[in-house]
Structure 1
C-alpha cells in the first residue's frame, strides 16, 4: 500500500449522537482507522431553492480508498439526511508509521 491508497473522508452530521454512532460503527467494522468528531460547526448552504443555516458536527474519517464504498453504505444506513456530505480527499503525504497504522487498522 502506498500513500495514494490513504484518504480522508468528510461527512457532516446533525448532532453529536449521530456522529458518534457513525464513528463507532466505522471503526468497529474496520472501515476506518480513526474518526475525529468536531462539534460546533455552522453550515450555510443552498437546499431545495432555499438558503439554510444549521449547526452540525464534522466527521474526519481516516481510511483507505478500498474502504470508501462500504463506509458510505454504512454512513447512509445511520444518517438522517437525504443527502449527507461525502467528500473523499486524497492524502499527499504523512508519517509512514501513521499511514501504516491506518492501513493495518482497516484490514
Structure 2
C-alpha cells in the first residue's frame, strides 16, 4: 500500500484556492497543490440543481497527513460541504516521491 495520495477539493475562486494551498504547503500538510481554474460544476444541493464556476485543488500529500489537512481546509473553506475525495497514488517516479516525502517532514 502506498503512503501517498491525492486529495481533490473544489473552491469558489482562485483567491480561496491559493489561500488554502499556501497554508497547506506552509504547514507541511501537502507537498504541492495544483489549482486548476475554469472548472464548471453542475450538482444537486438542497433539492435544487446548481451550476457554478469553481477552481479544482489537487493536494499531493501523505496519507498520514490527510486528517490534519481536512481539519485545516474545513476551518477556512467557505462551503458548507467542500468536496473531499482521496485517491491513492499507486506508484510514481522514485525521485518525485522522495521529494514529496522530504517536503512533508
Aligned residues: 105
> SS state of the match for residue 31, structure 1?
coil
Task: Note the alpha carbon deviations across 1:9-44, whole angstroms, 9 max, x for none.
Answer: 000000001000000000000000000000000000
Task: Note the alpha carbon deviations across 1:34-79, whole angstroms, 9 max, x for none.
Answer: 0000000000000011100000000010000000001001111110
What is the TM-score when the length of structure 1 is the normalising length? 0.96
Deviant stretches of 4+, over 6 Å? none
Q: Please give the alpha-carbon distance, in whole angstroms, between the structure 2 residues aligned to 1:92 and 1:64.
A: 12
Runs of 5+ unmatched residues, structure 1 = none
Q: Does 1:79 align with 2:77?
A: yes
Residues 13-28 of structure 1 aligned to structure 2 (within 5 Å)? 13-28=11-26
Q: Please give the alpha-carbon distance, in whole angstroms, between the structure 2 residues aligned to 1:36 and 1:94.
A: 17
Equivalent position of 1:104 in the other structure: 102
What is the TM-score when the length of structure 2 is the normalising length? 0.98
Equivalent position of 1:34 in the other structure: 32
Equivalent position of 1:6 in the other structure: 4
Q: Please give the alpha-carbon distance, in whole angstroms, between the structure 2 residues aligned to 1:104 and 1:21.
A: 22
Runs of 5+ unmatched residues, structure 2 = none
Equivalent position of 1:54 in the other structure: 52
